[in-house]
Amino acid sequence: MARSEAILHPVKNIHGGATLAHYKNTAESVSAVMPAPAQVVIAMQQHIGAPCTPLVKKGDTVYVGTKIGDSDKYISAPIHSSVSGTVTGLGSLLLPSGQTVETVIIESDGQMTPDPDIKPPVVETAEDLVKATRDSGLVGLGGAGFPSHVKLTMNPEKPIDTLIVNGAECEPFITSDYRESVENTENILEGILFLKKLLGIKNAIIAVENNKPKSISMMHSVIENVLGDKMSLDVTDDEKTQALYKIASDERDVDNTIQLMRLKSRYPQGAEKVIIYTTTGRKLPLGKLPSDVGCLVMNITSISVLNKYIKTGMPLVARTVTVDGGAIREPKNVVVPIGTSIADVIEFCGGYKAPARKILYGGPMMGNAVIDVNMPILKQNNAILALDRKQAEKRVESPCIRCGRCAKACPMNLQPLEIESQLRIGNIEAVKALYVEYCMECGSCSFVCPAKRHLTQVMRMAKAEVKNLK
Ligand code: SF4
Ligand code: SF4
């Protein structure tokens, strides 16, 4: 393996954002596999796009991986049983988003028997890959829930030159992506190489925040072991934490690279627009997709799950969830069958050690409050946080002191204070002119505000008002 001169990466610093306490208490918690729950309630919509229609009825026998819901719409993803057992009925569920969706309720036989029809897919072309991804039921596992096959459908008019593997995991508490990156490093690399090859993408950037050095060093070792003589390493100024590998494999040219990029640990580093900018320097305009700037952004766990599907044919039926918060007795990472109730997951983590004042699907910055612990785990849930009294303390607002911190913290360069003022007087045209549609509801403005103003909720309302203008 040859080493050449240092390479400077096109890394841009995140604009604004917030420095948060990490609270990554579960980082060293090896993912524990949860046994079969007695029952799962599987929502027919666990993704952005069209809901699925149930394909099973009361009394049907299902296995782990049996398809139980699908849609003929392009932006949707099929849904599979996460246990073996019997369908006991169909129901409905009110999601935290306010949407009511159908559910399939399955009583588990406790055996977790795989569907006998499951076999690895044949994936030789880009079209095969898109079909396999759809069949796997994969959606963005970092929280977005966008159907992955849609992302992987290449548009010849918008060539992709960079695959960004998003391992930033910038929200406090959550460590599920980190665990995937250290427990399944080789599988992730295989997935990256497979995507690069089939989709013809020259460069891959594996982007990880600098509070996860183990993730980067393990990826280093695996790249060197797997690629061996097929690549050379151009080491950066910070050897072994940032590196650019040039892969000289038979079918690729010299631009075929894998970059390990260490990002500053600053929220919201993992947001799609932000990570495109910090890793490539490209700005994603409003209403445009990453493909418009030559990028494909995939969550690191999504790549791992896709590669496992390609090897085994077992669709997305379980996922790793970080269970943490001051009310949880034994915080840990748990591999949970989709559709398991939050109550069962918390029970598996030793139950409560203090009264839970607030339970969140996801992290403290962008997570949604849960009103019922019988709610099921969805595909896109990377964390369950049960906050104790102190953590859930209500933010009491006081008048704005016009300090400007909210504007300074906004990664999208917005003026939350001005937007709030214009919204209050009902000047929606002015709100629109302040580019509120760029707001990604990251919560940084609220977090830094000394007056504890509920700016993120205001931004959400302002966006809805602007939408109504159209
Ligand atoms: S951070 Fe809060 S107090 Fe400061 S200008 Fe913004 S809204 Fe006002
Ligand atoms: S205005 Fe929106 S994007 Fe900007 S900091 Fe606030 S929530 Fe984040």
Q: What is the pLDDT of residues 67-77, one digit of tens each?
A: 999 999 999 99
Whether residue 229 has pLDDT greater than 80: no
Cβ atoms 37, 86 nearer than 8 A: no
Q: Give percent above pLDDT 90 in the chain.
A: 75
Question: Which of ligand 2's atoms lies nearest the C-alpha of 438?
Answer: 3
Could you tell which of 395, 398, 402, 456 is best to mutate to test the pocket of ligand 1, judged by most ligand atoms within 8 Å of the CB? 402
- Mode of pairing for the β-strands spanning 67-70 and 53-54: antiparallel
Q: Whose CA is nearest to atom 4 of ligand 1?
A: 403
What's the predicted TM-score (pTM) here?
0.92
Establish whether residue 416 lines the binding site of ligand 2, counting it when its CB lies within 6 angstroms of any ligand atom. yes
> What pLDDT, on the 0 to 100 scale, is given for residue 259?
84
Going by CA atoms, what residue is nearest to atom 6 of ligand 1? Answer: 406
Q: What is the pLDDT of residue 221?
A: 86
Q: What is the mean pLDDT of residues 11-21?
A: 80
Structure tokens at 121: 């897919």
The best mutation among 272, 414, 419 to test binding of ligand 2, ranked by most ligand atoms within 8 Å of the C-beta, falls on: 414
pLDDT digits (tens, 9 = 90+) for 116-126: 999 999 999 99
- Which of 19, 417, 449, 456 is the best mutation target for the ligand 2 pocket, counting ligand atoms within 8 Å of the beta carbon and taking the most? 456
> Measured from the CA of 16, which atom of ligand 2 is nearest?
5
Query: Alpha carbon 445 to chain centroid distance?
Result: 22
pLDDT > 60? residue 329: yes
CA of 411 to the centre of ligand 1 (A): 15
Residue ranges of the chain that CATH labels 3.40.50.11540: 3-25+120-312
**Which of the 8 DSSP states describes residue 267?**
B
Residue pair 252/230 in contact by the 8 Å Cβ criterion: no
**pLDDT for res 454:** 94
In the predicted model, what is the mean pLDDT of the chain?
Answer: 90
pLDDT of residue 11: 56
CA 151, chain centre distance (Å): 14
Q: Say if ligand 1 is within 6 A of residue 395 CB.
A: no
Which protein residue has the closest C-alpha to ligand 2 atom 2? 439
Which of 397, 400, 410 to mutate for ligand 1's pocket (most ligand atoms within 8 Å of CB)? 400
In angstroms, the Cα distances linking 31 to 41, 321, 386, 422, 444 are: 23, 9, 19, 47, 30
Identify the band that residue 243 occupies on the pLDDT scale cut at 50, 70 and 90. Answer: low
Per-residue confidence (pLDDT) for residue 233, from 0 to 100: 65
Does pLDDT of 253 surpass 50?
A: no
Which residue from 395, 396, 397, 401 has its CB within 8 A of the most atoms of ligand 1, so it is best to mutate?
Answer: 401
CATH 2.30.230 is held by the domain 37-111: no
The two tokens of residue 428 are 């929606």
Length of the chain: 470
Q: For ligand 2, is residue 410 a contact (CB within 6 Å)?
A: yes
| Stronger pLDDT, 210 or 417, i.e. the higher one | 417
Spell out where 174-218 has E strands.
203-209
| For the CA of 406, the nearest ligand | 1
Q: Average pLDDT of 48-56?
A: 95
Query: Could you identify the atom of ligand 1 that is nearest to the CA of residue 405?
Result: 1
pLDDT of residue 10: 37
CATH 2.40.50 range(s) for the chain read 37-111
For residue 9, what pLDDT band results from cuts at 50, 70 and 90?
A: very low
**Residue 273: nearest ligand to its CA?**
2
Average confidence (pLDDT) over 268-276: 93
Burial of 294 (0-12, 13-18, 19+ CB in 10 A): middle
- Please tell me if the CB atom of residue 414 comes closer than 6 angstroms to any atom of ligand 2: yes
Q: How far is CA 458 from CA 417, 441, 453, in A?
A: 10, 10, 9
Token couple for 104: 């399939």
| Ligand 1 atom having least distance to the Cα of 401 | 3
Q: Which ligand is nearest to the CA of 444?
A: 2
Question: How far apart are the C-alpha atoms of 285 and 291, rounded to whole Å?
Answer: 11
- Measured distance CA(211)–CA(208) in Å, rounded: 8
Domain 3-25+120-312 fold: Rossmann fold (3.40.50)
Q: What is the pLDDT of residues 330-374, one digit of tens each?
A: 999 999 999 999 999 999 999 999 999 999 999 999 988 998 999
Preceding omega of 268 cis (within 30 degrees of 0):
yes
Ligand 2, atom 8, residue with closest C-alpha = 442
